[in-house]
Amino acid sequence: MTEHASRLQAFMATIEKRNPHEAEFLQAVREVADTLLPFIDQHPTYKDYNILERMCEPERVVIFRVPWVDDQGRYCVNRGYRVQMNSAIGPYKGGLRFHPTVTLSVLKFLAFEQVFKNSLTTLPLGGGKGGSDFDPKGKSDHEIMRFCQSFMNELSRHIGAFTDIPAGDIGVGAREIGYLFGQYKKISNEFTGVLTGKGLDYGGSLIRTEATGYGVVYFANEALTARGDSLEGKKCAVSGSGNVAQYTIEKLIQLGAIPVTVSDSAGFVHDPAGIDESKLAFIKELKNIKRGRIDEYTHHVKGATFHPDTTPWNAPVDLAFPCATQNELPEKDAHTLIKNGCKGVFEGANMPTTEEAYQVIRHHKLLFTPGKASNAGGVATSGLEMSQNAQRMSWTRDEVDYRLKMIMKSIHGNCEKFGRQEDGMIDYVKGANIAGFVKVADAMIAQGHV
């Protein structure tokens, strides 16, 4: 075993002992420690202050019961969480996820990643994440509203515009944020920017809806340009059909690429002719309004095929944009992408690539950008929403879009600064982890052992 491998193993043993069986959280920590431990060895101050181990321990975790009544009058119960991971550089900030797969491990991994991501945005945002194992699928609007109100009855004690500012994530979009905001306002009797992703009529920011997907494509564009390449004419596989996938597809179309897939948890659609703006409008209506299944796309578009229980990584493409969920791109699919000539993987989701798949991608020197860098445009624009709320102003669409573009450019610059390799290539994983870490670590040192 190399010295690095045994050091990583020893570090992980400490973290595993404290967080047994938390597979997703341990996966996220291992990936970060793998690149940070050598950096920390070169900068012994961070070792002396034991910063990385301290960053693995959430500042606070709240777990609570969420009681609600369904449309048939049945008494239902779910579990709610908020993981307040790190507030060294700003108030806790991060989304809420409503999905049956939500566990403490999943939310701790997301909160851990969020700390690095938020640091990269250049804005003063700490890291957190929350949610519930509630499944919004098939629920009526009234059931969603009652659930959100009950969830907020407890969450409201732990958040605030200067303490912790939640937003959306899987299963939490404009509708849910509206109900959550309404209930917070009723409980607190205050109209504050306590949530982001709000509707435009009540404190939301232009471009926040589009920001994560647009940011992913701005970042991919920067990374391709740095390699002397471009998005023009590239066939792209996109997974998911929710918020991030929709606006990734939209920006890909605008920048001359050809998105050819879209998916949901039942399988993927392959449209070799390319998804254009009118087909995308169909997807948005299907998913955001009718809340239907993605296979309906093939009833609407001639030549498109649906592949049940299969990932989009089986379609022949030049570039891949995983935008659905964690560990959705396994090793087998990484081999398939490479066999088909894929040149780059840009993460829109959080940790969509498994550890094994990442090793394959790295070995074959594909361009790879980790979610904490490439999907940071969403939370960055949430930060811009907070600034507008604090100023009691609304910026124009162009202004917010320009700032988003500049933030993605700056994140790219930071990845370049800390991730430039001897062969001239940029290691975005290393760059993002180190750049995200340094700012938080320095702030933690300055603030004492709290």
Kindly state whether residue 324 participates in binding ligand NDP, applying the rule CB under 6 A: yes
Which one among 35, 248, 353, 382 touches ligand 2IT, defined by CB under 6 A? 382
- Among the listed ranges 6-14, 31-39, 241-249, 389-397, the one in contact with ligand NDP (CB under 6 A) is 241-249
| Helix, strand or coil, per DSSP, at residue 133 | coil
Asked if 167 touches ligand 2IT (CB under 6 A), the answer is: yes
Tokens of 64: 């609570």
With binding defined as CB under 6 A, does residue 438 bind ligand NDP? no
In terms of phi and psi (left: phi > 0; alpha: psi -120 to 50; beta: otherwise), the region of 448 is left
Which residue numbers are catalytic? 129
Name which of 265, 269, 308, 309 is nearest 170 in CA terms: 265
Q: Is the dihedral of CA 320, 336, 316, 284 positive or negative?
A: negative
**Backbone torsions φ then ψ of 67, nearest 5 degrees:** -90, 140
Gap between the terminal Cα atoms of the chain: 36
- Closest approach of Cβ 382 to ligand 2IT, in Å? 3
DSSP reduced 3-state for 63: strand
The dihedral sign for the CA sequence 237, 241, 245, 248: positive
Q: How far is Cα of residue 402 from the mean position of the Cα atoms in its chain?
A: 21
Reduce the DSSP state of residue 263 to 3 states and report it. strand
Residue nearest to ligand 2IT according to CB distances in the complex:
95
Token pair of 403 as six digits: 């700032």
Q: Least distance to ligand NDP from the beta carbon of 166, Å?
A: 12
Q: Which is nearer to ligand 2IT, 164 or 333 (CB)?
A: 164
Pick one of ligand NDP, ligand 2IT, none as the site partner of residue 349 (Cβ within 5 to 8 A by kind). ligand NDP
* Interface with ligand 2IT (CB under 6 A), residue from 87, 121, 149, 196: 196
Work out whether 169 is an interface residue with ligand 2IT (CB under 6 A): yes
196, interface contact from ligand 2IT, ligand NDP, none, CB < 5-8 Å by kind: ligand 2IT
Q: Which does 265 bind (CB under 5 to 8 A by kind): ligand 2IT, ligand NDP, none?
A: ligand NDP
C-alpha 56/C-alpha 25 separation (Å) is: 9
Residues facing residue 303 across a β-bridge: none
Question: Least distance (Å) from ligand NDP to the CB of residue 242?
Answer: 2
* Residues contributing to the site for ligand 2IT (CB under 6 A): 93-95, 114, 117, 167, 169, 196, 350, 378-379, 382
Residues near ligand NDP (CB under 6 A): 168-171, 173, 212, 240-245, 264-265, 323-325, 328, 348-350, 375, 378
